[in-house]
Amino acid sequence: MARVPGDPRTLRAEPGARITVVRAGQVPYLDAWAWQRDLAARRTTGDIGDVLLLLEHPRVYTLGRRADEDNLVFDAAERERRGISLHRIDRGGDVTYHGPGQLVGYPIWKLDGPRVVDHVRTLEEINLRLLAGIGITASRVEGFSGVWVEDAKVTAVGVHVSARYVTTHGWATNVDPDLSDFAGIVPCGLADKQVASIAALGHPELSVDDVADRTVDHVAEVLGTRVEHAIPADLGLEIPAPV
């Protein structure tokens, strides 16, 4: 299929190739980041195809490459008291939060060239359709990434694309996290914006697993492909020991 700017079906280097989906449950942030780097290296050499990790994290704040530490509201003592870790990473964007009740998606995909904006828009489109499918009217906001309901962000998007066009990082959709944890940061550096969750928008009955089921369907639909399911061990990923 010929490249068509803006068309997610032509986004990947191998359009139509199956995507392997790994639903891993709750994974500590640094373990999942190590998984991404390992998978990205193997995707770069062609040892594996495109992979999507779907998981949750324990409470953590992450700082993107150009993040301003002034956007951290809680100091180290308060973060420790609340059990929230902090890591600086290589994605774009400012500071964000991950925690239980949030579905995180990490696409490890090889793109058909330097299509970073198309990649971000594709991840947004997956989540726009997800929310529309459960009766939530969401949209993009000009000048900002992510998926919004009015001025409240439901899905945050922050990605990294290597020089060989392999993606890491991705999106985080608030299903039913503890929204009070967002008080410890200025989310994405946007002081005048809010955060929302699927539960707070009228759907407390949906679990992270429910939302993951729907997300997988929309990934296949938006990318114009099929998916196959795997467990971490199928891809040689070491499952972290319980804390």
Residue with structure tokens 């697993």? 209
Catalytically annotated residue among 22, 67, 154, 188 = 188
- pLDDT (0 to 100) of residue 167: 98
Integer Cα distance of 134 and 44 in angstroms: 36
Write the CA distances from 106 to 69, 184, 203, integer angstroms: 24, 24, 24
Confidence bin at 186 (pLDDT 50/70/90):
confident
State pLDDT tens for residues 99-118: 999 999 999 999 999 999 99
Residue among 187, 208, 183 at smallest CA distance from 198:
208
- 114 burial via Cβ count (<10 Å: 0-12, 13-18, 19+): exposed
Confidence bin at 1 (pLDDT 50/70/90):
low
Decide: 141 and 147 in contact? Cβ < 8 Å.
Answer: no
- Domain layout of the chain by residue ranges: 13-235
- pLDDT (0 to 100) of residue 241: 65
Phi, psi angles (nearest 5°) of residue 154: -100, -40
Residues contacting 59, CB < 8 A, separation 6+: 82, 83, 84, 85, 97, 98, 99, 100, 181
State pLDDT tens for residues 136-185: 999 999 999 999 999 999 999 999 999 999 999 999 999 999 999 999 98
- pLDDT (0 to 100) of residue 4: 72
Decide: 169 and 159 in contact? Cβ < 8 Å.
Answer: yes
Residues contacting 40, CB < 8 A, separation 6+: 108, 162, 166, 167, 168
Q: What is the pTM of this model?
A: 0.94
User: Thinking of the domain 13-235, which architecture would CATH place it in?
Assistant: 2-Layer Sandwich (3.30)
State pLDDT tens for residues 77-102: 999 999 999 999 887 778 889 999 99
Q: How many degrees, rounded to 5, is the angle at CA 141 between CA 130 and CA 204?
A: 35
Distance of CA 47 to the CA centre of its chain: 23
Asked if 187 is an active-site residue, the reply is: no
188: left (phi over 0), alpha (psi -120 to 50) or beta: left
Around 37, how many Cα atoms within 13 Å sit in the side-chain half-sphere?
9
Mapping DSSP onto H, E and C, the string for 160-197 reads: EECCCCEEEEEEEEECCCCHHHHHHECHHHCCCCEECC
